[in-house]
Structure 1
């Protein structure tokens, strides 16, 4: 069995400098976010020609149908690449491959899988919305760099991870947006080096840490507008509901446990997300309800912070009940 199978004709994927290749690595929970992300890119860049590459280890019939519908409605190209687990067989004996879902490793694999198809690829996490033109990003001078990236949080993540990973160049990037020179990536064996790091070291941020180690000194840092991280839980935990943006941005990246496609995201970002969702083939899909004890607890906290105390107490009771059931099951198993 091969490592990858594409669901579209190979003749549709051509090496063409006028085409912008955008890639995603997703699991079941992120197809909706990715679909809305694609919609936002196309709607804000109507004069550009895109091929969107979707890499996943599995896909439901519903997600496949929605992607095909999106391809038609947006008049764009979406190529589904189904990965087989044997693509990682060389590293499967290492503990990290049982500790992390397979989706953790996908973005490390993408450039090699697109080698010979495109010279450059824009990798994006699924939990991003495009709010503007991306042409300037594609014009970034890469020279001998392997990827154009954006610093992670300078006062927190960058400080801790530069020290923890012993990075010679005191730089640390967020891997949610990477504009990658595919040929340089392959020539420098980044995939293999990153997988070895991921397999043999204890890492706080898994694949992102591994990529920072092997790409250290080989990246070009670009403006924050290309990966504007917005940690919704921070604002909601303080009772904030409005979009608090101090600088213009193109890609807004919703980092953290709260996403705008969740019904319990009591923030203006949810309304913005819904606007794009209604233009996508996920228009009929209801927002996600809180499912886990963590989500129930966060939802109750957000409600109380917004002075909706009775509702907050009600959801907190649901959280306590679910936690009780979970603890009972855990106790009986032990």
Structure 2
């Protein structure tokens, strides 16, 4: 049996359905990794309506015609996480913490499971992951591509303390878990104990797991198993700068040539276009190809697709910011932040943005929109944009 866990609220169920469909459709019926040849998909949620439950049941029925699977729903409550702070990634809901309870949810006899974020897409026969030997390790993990500036702020014996992370910081969107070792090391309780003392946790469950699963209990897996699509724009590897992606440039390129699980930063249901892969294809197209084939949910997904405009706004705002920086037009940068009336005028320019810089423009557009939401000034936008542009110039040409 292959136990795979997801977290999803009512709105995210349809995206989880696409991921589940990608797993089933990429299963090779002629290859048997384990004798117990069935998927058990577990969805952790705070609420799922009766109508959505019926859709999930329909999805399960149709996918069973392709490969045996069972979809189980586990409803939890934020009340179960009273001691967990509302901050960072858990600023509006405690759903990100739900995966920390998976050892209590799954039956005792289950010795291995795989957790996946719902904004992923499977491109391989996922059963190969379950053949990985985790003997003596708590979890198989994949390094996070961001800078290791995440931290947990907590109080202990009346004193404020800060816990910092280093090069082994992993992304919790993919976790191959040895449940025997997880329970033996009491990971669930350790996370709760640390959370109860914390008043700020930026990356929610991810930070807690990095704090409680020490490097000697981690099995570092290939980056292809949790391939963050933003790295297609540019990535800084460990042999180029410390405390960034904990893989060499050579290891990264091999993963980029044939990623096995895509992890979307720019969500395909918001961005029809973002980054280009090494084959020259828009990475978001892969997701929509599966969405079109997702039983039950495909109709509403395709209807949603017709109204997607985020990629237009982000990319064109980013293009205008890029042009303003190149011409040292600080008045223009200020107007991008404060004058939202001009947004519609910019959006006609999207067709002229080359694929090579489209993702860069999206990223720069996010800086402008973040400044609007958080009342940041021109200087703040300028500094962030300069950093991204300089890193792009230095590292983007090393990907291919």
Same fold? TM cut 0.5: yes
> Judging changes above 3 Å, is the alpha-carbon distance between structure 1 residues 105 and 312 closer, same or farther for their aligned structure 2 residues?
farther
Match 1:130 to one of 119, 122, 126? 122
Aligned to 1:32, the other structure's residue is in SS state helix
Kept in 1: contact 2:271–2:311 (CA 8 A): no
Q: Deviations over 1:211-259 (max 9, x none)?
A: 1000023211111111111128958xxxxxxxx973312111113xx20
Kept in 1: contact 2:4–2:115 (CA 8 A): yes
Using the TM superposition, give the Cα deviation of residue 79 of structure 1 relative to its aligned residue in structure 2, in angstroms: 0.5
Q: Deviations over 1:174-233 (max 9, x none)?
A: 100001011221221111211232332322212111110000232111111111111289
Aligned to 2:136, the other structure's residue is in SS state coil
Distance in 2 (CA, whole Å) between partners of 1:110 and 1:312 is 48
Distance in 2 (CA, whole Å) between partners of 1:296 and 1:95 is 32
Match 1:287 to one of 287, 304, 316? 304
Q: Say whether residues 1:259 and 2:267 are aligned partners.
A: yes
Residues 104-183 of structure 1: pairs in structure 2 closer than 5 A: 104-116=96-108, 118-153=110-145, 156-158=146-148, 160-161=149-150, 165-167=163-165, 170-183=167-180
> Judging changes above 3 Å, is the alpha-carbon distance between structure 1 residues 109 and 310 closer, same or farther for their aligned structure 2 residues?
closer
Distance in 1 (CA, whole Å) between partners of 2:192 and 2:21 is 32
Aligned to 2:114, the other structure's residue is in SS state strand
Q: How well do the aligned residues superpose, as a CA RMSD in angstroms?
A: 3.7
Q: Which residue of 2 aligns with 1:77?
A: 70
TM-score by length of 2: 0.62
Q: Say whether residues 1:197 and 2:194 are aligned partners.
A: yes
Distance in 2 (CA, whole Å) between partners of 1:212 and 1:251 is 21
Q: Which residue of 2 aligns with 1:22?
A: 4
Kept in 1: contact 2:43–2:71 (CA 8 A): yes
Task: Give the greater-gyration-radius structure (CA).
Answer: 2
Kept in 2: contact 1:114–1:182 (CA 8 A): no
Q: Deviations over 1:280-313 (max 9, x none)?
A: 121101236469xx888425436879x9x99662
> Judging changes above 3 Å, is the alpha-carbon distance between structure 1 residues 131 and 95 closer, same or farther for their aligned structure 2 residues?
closer
Name the structure, 1 or 2, with higher relative contact order (CA <8 Å, separation 6+).
1
Distance in 2 (CA, whole Å) between partners of 1:295 and 1:111 is 38
Q: Say whether residues 1:226 and 2:219 are aligned partners.
A: no
TM-score by length of 1: 0.73
Q: Which residue of 2 aligns with 1:103?
A: 95
Q: Which residue of 2 aligns with 1:12?
A: none
Using the TM superposition, give the Cα deviation of residue 120 of structure 1 relative to its aligned residue in structure 2, in angstroms: 0.8
> Judging changes above 3 Å, is the alpha-carbon distance between structure 1 residues 301 and 262 closer, same or farther for their aligned structure 2 residues?
same
